[in-house]
Structure formats: structure tokens, C-alpha cells
Amino acid sequence: MKFIELDDFGRLPQSPLRAMTINSLYAPFHSYFRSKRIRELAEALSTHDLGSVLDVGGSLHFYELIISNRMHCRSYTIVNLHLPEEALKPCVRWVVSNALKLPYRDKAFDFVICNSVIEHMGDYESQQALAAELRRVGKGYYVQTPNFWFPVEPHFLTCFLHWLPKRLLAKLVRWCSVWGLVMKPNRSSIDSVLKEIKLLRKGQMADLFPDAKLGVERCFGLAKSFVAIKPR
């Protein structure tokens, strides 16, 4: 299974103008929840020193949030399929690699971060493989993913649509979702996004990370996302 990180909207490469438009719609929520996650991570670990960090499927944005919230790391390695789009910080290393076969020995990192990535693995078997790799290379870890049962699907920015059968969803998502209306995807792009996204339920997250404490990220009292945290 090829590892592909789509962004929080399930977006494939398209027009920068369109990307800017949909980012502007979601940016305030995106910034709020990621900043909140960093603060909660520090509280959960009872430390501000993460040691050596591996960010799987990440970007410089999460690293910058860590630093801005006065957390520290000795080194920060980002694994992604794509090359960075901006200059790296002095202690940040960027590695192009498949997340399902990480090029590191067991427990190579003090802490592993995987934020909004595991739902893009396409099927549960690949999600199991990714979870096993995260647990293998990290002494501790933090994994966040959207909740299947939250009414708003975060990639399409639309309520309830993701609960429909995929065959029906494929027909409706172009004209009945914010993502479809803004991005104007063709059928091939729609099929690719639907093939990549598989939102998880709480029980599935618990099965994937049995040695972690499973937390719930809430929005308006509803479980928006699940967070699996294991201190090192």
C-alpha cells in the first residue's frame, strides 16, 4: 500500500488558488485544534522535553507549534512522501520514505507523532501496518485521527455525507460537499480521495494502539477525534 499524505481536506494536488480558498475556510479551526493538541500533549506527558522526535506524514507546522508552546526536542525528523516546500530549521531533518516501512531500528526515537495521517491509509490492514511501525520505532507516541461518528467529515467539510455507502458518496460529493464545490474535482480525483480515506471508530483505535491511553478531542461536546498517547 503506497503511503500518501493528503491534507486535512483530503486534497490532491490542484490549483493553488483553489487550495487557498478552501484553506481560508478551515484555517481557524485547523490552527485552534493543533495548538490545543500540543498543549494537551505537554500535560499528558508531564514534561516539555520530547527528546528525539519522529513526525510521520507531518510538516514544519507541527514542529513550529511545539517550539511556540515552549516544548523542546533534541532533534526532529519528518517522514513524508514529498520533499519540503520551505527551508528547514537547523535541528529538523526531512526524509522521503514510505510510512509503512520506516527506515529505522526498533525504538530509534524517544517520541513519534502522527497527526491526521492514519485515516489516509485506505484500508484497515494498512492502518494496522502503520500502527505497528509507529509503535516499533518509538519509545512513546502520539497519534490523532478524526472520529468516524463525528457529524462533520473534516476532509469534505460537510455533515453526514461520509456515513453513506461509498458508491452513493462518490456520486454526491462533487455537488453536495464544500470540498467538491470549492475544489471542483473530476471523477478520477474523487475516486482517489475516497480510496484513501477510512475514518476510524473508537474501538478500532483502541485495537490499533493497545498500550496507549486513548483520549477524546471534543467539539461542541461531541467526540471529534481520538488521540492515542503513550509516554516514553
CATH of 16-230 among 2.40.50.140, 3.40.50.150, 3.40.50.2300, 3.60.70.12: 3.40.50.150
In 36-187 the beta strands, taken as DSSP E runs, fall at: 52-56, 75-80, 92-96, 109-115, 138-146, 152-153, 158-159
Cα(217)–Cα(202) distance, rounded to whole angstroms? 12
Cα(62)–Cα(51) distance, rounded to whole angstroms? 15
End-to-end CA distance of the chain: 29
pLDDT band of 39, cuts 50, 70, 90? confident
Instruction: Determine the average pLDDT of the residues in 6-32.
Output: 49
- Per-residue pLDDT reduced to its tens digit, 151-163: 999 999 999 999 9
How far, rounded to the nearest angstrom, does the alpha carbon of residue 222 sit from its chain's CA centroid? 19
Residue 28 confidence (pLDDT):
59
Residue 71 confidence (pLDDT):
86
pLDDT band of 26, cuts 50, 70, 90? low
pLDDT mean across residues, the chain: 87
User: What amino acid is encoded at 27 in this protein?
Assistant: A
How far, rounded to the nearest angstrom, does the alpha carbon of residue 155 sit from its chain's CA centroid? 11
> Is the distance from CB of 88 to CB of 94 less than 8 angstroms?
yes
38-52, 94-108, 190-204: segment of lowest average pLDDT: 38-52
Instruction: Determine the average pLDDT of the residues in 121-125.
Output: 97
Q: Does residue 66 carry a pLDDT above 60?
A: yes
Q: Does residue 25 carry a pLDDT above 70?
A: no
Residue 108 confidence (pLDDT):
98
- Per-residue pLDDT reduced to its tens digit, 201-231: 999 999 999 999 999 999 999 999 999 999 9
Cα(80)–Cα(58) distance, rounded to whole angstroms? 7
**Can you give the residue ranges of every domain in the chain?**
16-230
In 57-174 the beta strands, taken as DSSP E runs, fall at: 75-80, 92-96, 109-115, 138-146, 152-153, 158-159
pLDDT band of 11, cuts 50, 70, 90? very low
